[in-house]
A and B are shown apart, each in its own frame.
Chain A
């Protein structure tokens, strides 16, 4: 009697468990499929012939494959130039942010000087300032400095990154001070300790932060939109949006192809370096 009831209960819980597992898989993979459709649509459309793109029924499979849109874009837009601009802008910003954030993080954690606690508190508080509040005054300042329509007009306003300082300060707390002290005793100057001991020790944190800043800058929209005013200066996000306006009508083939060109480099970086990026995001979630 008792054994029977337990077997019944066991089989019940097993099917229950199985149902739950099935629901879990359906839910996760179903959502994943929905997430992938836009990507698929973007890539597929970029290879479709004009007939397929403009047919009454939207197509998801490029029966007729062509490179027409890619050739068209390369010949009729500055997309190659925009890619180079974006690369330079993101690269320069990343280097600048890493240098000045690492310097101040070093100063705040390793050097003892009055006022550093207050300064750190102010930097932490500045997280809370939404960039949008500063849109108008920063634009005024940038134009007073004569930096409108220049690369530095985009780089400098995003060069002081409180998030980066915070992440690096947390990281500094975890690396031992002994090495630096030994180097100091050997007569190394502050600058030499910083460049020869500290920076190499922080390589992994700098890589994570750098990746994050690079992606952030590559994708930046509002600021470049405001500052970069000539077509030859545009970054990819800005170029893409003007492409839509300049052509008058929306050409799905052109737009989807430009979207592919703008996002593929980062998607590849993402696939290769996902681990570092996950780490950079996690550092934000745990530090705040």
Chain B
């Protein structure tokens, strides 16, 4: 090892041979990677293992060393826990209310703005702007709009939406759609602009209708960004936390308690860290399954 090092030293000092894959190169490579790897190990990969470990224990928050190994008991409890199932169904409901409008809405707006419209810059700015808002502002602002004396009950009706069993979740969904459309809109607008104009010119010469061009050119050409957008929106909506935390606190009577809100309460109010870690892992598995399924169905690659 020391010898190899010396050898490269000499060849390097020759100034001509920048021999790669030398010990020096390895040393430099590792040194430049080290800060990232240490931090990722400590706060990304390590915790992933720790979460698994914790989920198999009756975790003792005060004396972690005293935690008792209980195998999959946390997972078993979870599967028969009505509060978990309630949170899961609430989350699924939220996903159903938000993902289709966000994906379809952002696609329509992107295709519309891409056309030769006046005020393109203005429209793009307006649709993109909610992207820079924090969930705290979005939540507080919309909570006020949906409140008993707010704009929506006054002009649309329904009383205080956030106190209503049936309207609280749609209220969270509307706020979320307004907020989350922006990111997808920009991705899809860029994707649409990348589709070659020639394809449309050729199709027009063949007398293809707008609808045909949409179905046979636009959508297939934008397939990858669309898959990306669908998966990102699914993953984001499944992890919804700030909106119910701020706007409804999971109420009325737990009708807007989502999985992450449930996880948060279990961990940091109930101090049941092992169980909360199990909830996190189940959510992780759900997200992998949902991403894989969307990819499978949207990519058309079903081998």
Chain A residues positioned under 8 Å from B43 (CB to CB): 134, 138, 141, 156-157, 159-160
Q: Which of A3-11, A63-71, A73-81, A113-121 contacts the other chain?
A: A113-121
Contact B29 A112 (CB under 8 A): yes
A residues 127-156 near B (Cβ < 8 Å) are 128-141, 156
What is the distance, in angstroms, from A27's C-beta to the closest C-beta of chain B?
6
Q: Is the CB of B21 within 8 A of A236?
A: no
Given known contacts A104-B37, A157-B43, A133 and B144 CB-to-CB distance under 8 angstroms: no
Whether the pair A101, B239 counts as a contact (CB closer than 8 A) is no
B51 at the interface (CB under 8 A from A): yes
Give the CA-CA distance A162 to B36 in the complex, in Å: 9
CB neighbours (8 Å) of B56 from chain A are none
Interface of A is mostly: helix
Contact stretch, chosen from B76-84, B120-128, B195-203, B213-221: B120-128
B267 at the interface (CB under 8 A from A): yes
Look across to chain A and name the residue whose beta carbon is closest to the beta carbon of B127.
Answer: A35
List, in ascending order, chain B residues with CB within 8 A of A139's CB: 267-268
Contact A241 B246 (CB under 8 A): yes
Which of B2-10, B92-100, B163-171, B184-192 lies at the binding interface?
A: B184-192
In the bound assembly, the distance between CA atoms of A137 and B43 in angstroms comes to: 9
- Does B284 lie within 8 Å of A133, measured CB to CB? yes
| A36 touching B126 in the complex, CB below 8 Å, given contacts A42-B141, A137-B277 | yes
A134-B246 in contact (CB<8A): no
What size tier do the contact residues of chain A reach?
35 or more
For this complex, into which size category does the number of interface residues on chain B fall? 35 or more
- A57, A107, A122: the one contacting B32 at CB < 8 Å is A107
Tell me the smallest distance from the CB of A81 to a CB of chain B, in Å: 16
Chain B, residues 252-277, CB within 8 Å of chain A (1/0): the string is 00000000100110011000010011
Q: How many angstroms between the C-alpha atoms of A267 and B35 in the bound complex?
A: 33
Given A41-B145, A271-B125; A113-B25 close (CB under 8 Å): yes
Question: Which residues 244-303 in B have Cβ within 8 Å of A in the complex?
Answer: 246, 260, 263-264, 267-268, 273, 276-277, 280-281, 283-284, 287-288, 291
> Are B44's CB and A160's CB within 8 A?
yes
Interface contact B32-A111, CB-CB below 8 Å:
yes
- Contact status B134-A236, CB under 8 Å: yes
Give chain B's interface residues, CB within 8 Å of chain A. 15-16, 18, 20-21, 25-26, 28-33, 35-37, 39-40, 42-48, 50-51, 54, 64, 108-109, 112-113, 115, 117, 119, 122-123, 125-137, 139-145, 147, 149-151, 154, 178, 183, 186-187, 190-191, 225, 228-229, 235, 238-239, 241-242, 246, 260, 263-264, 267-268, 273, 276-277, 280-281, 283-284, 287-288, 291
Instruction: Give the 3 A-B residue pairs with the shortest CB-CB distance, closest first.
Output: A113-B29, A107-B32, A219-B134
30 pairs, CB–CB < 8 Å, chain A vs chain B: A27-B108, A36-B126, A38-B178, A58-B149, A103-B35, A104-B37, A112-B25, A113-B28, A116-B33, A128-B291, A134-B280, A135-B263, A135-B267, A136-B51, A137-B51, A137-B277, A141-B46, A184-B18, A190-B28, A215-B132, A219-B134, A240-B137, A252-B144, A259-B137, A263-B134, A263-B137, A269-B132, A274-B128, A281-B190, A288-B228
